[in-house]
Amino acid sequence: MNLRELKSGQGKVDVEVTVKSKGEARSFNKYGKDLRVCNFVVTDADGGEIKLSLWNADIDKVIVGSVLKITNGYVSEFNGELQLTTGKFGALEVVSGGAASADASTPPSSSKPTGMKEKKGKKEKKHPPKVQGFLLFDLQADPQESKDLAADHPEIVDRLKAALTAWMATFETHRGLP
């Protein structure tokens, strides 16, 4: 099976790929459980390319250049782009070039998710500061929304605030509110 043949919603995907690039791992808490996810771009021998989403411990097994075997993978679509994942029932095997075989001079990546700190042997989530007003992000340049641009571009904030206020007013009218 090659990557160009994959379709959204397809399961039972068995494929061997090479990691072309690695995105920034993201950490979050869902239902009281700390999780991490990271997107990789992978290619196959036929030149096909797809995003591969890996979770938690699997992230640390893989580096750029790793050859991976995905067994029983699943293809989904996010923002119009196909993504491959091992899902609940799939498996990831690092055939060659994994983190364990990385050059010894390369510093190991921290196993502690971003946004976490140690406290008495336990991981504790750092809470972001309370925000006053509106935030503005450049999602193409900063998909993790780490740099607030509101202070640098007040004219954009004012325009978006006015559009939001006008949009919200349509709901008040329809609900019969004054």
Please give the domain boundaries of the chain with CATH numbers for all domains.
Answer: 3-108 (2.40.50.140), 128-178 (no CATH)
Q: How far apart are CA 32 and CA 52, in angstroms?
A: 25
- pLDDT for the residue 78: 87
Tokens found for residue 26: 């993201």
Contacts with 7 (C-beta within 8 Å, 6 or more apart), sequence order = 75, 82
Give the Å distances, CA to CA, from 173 to 75, 160, 169, 170: 43, 20, 6, 5
Percent of all residues in the chain with a pLDDT value above 90, rounded to a whole number: 39
Q: Where in 104-149 does DSSP place strands (E)?
A: 116-119, 122-125
Q: How far apart are CA 108 and CA 139, in angstroms?
A: 29
Q: How far apart are CA 138 and CA 24, in angstroms?
A: 16
Question: What are the tens digits of pLDDT across the range 58-97?
Answer: 999 999 999 999 999 999 998 889 999 988 888 999 998 7
pLDDT reading at 51 higher than 60: yes
- pLDDT for the residue 130: 54
Q: Name the pTM for this structure.
A: 0.55
Asked if residue 42 lies in contact with residue 32, where contact means CB atoms within 8 angstroms, the answer is no
Contacts with 61 (C-beta within 8 Å, 6 or more apart), sequence order = 92, 94, 98, 99, 100
Question: What are the tens digits of pLDDT across the range 110-157?
Answer: 444 444 444 555 555 555 555 567 888 888 888 888 888 888 888 888
User: Would the CA dihedral through 130, 132, 133, 135 be positive or negative?
Assistant: negative
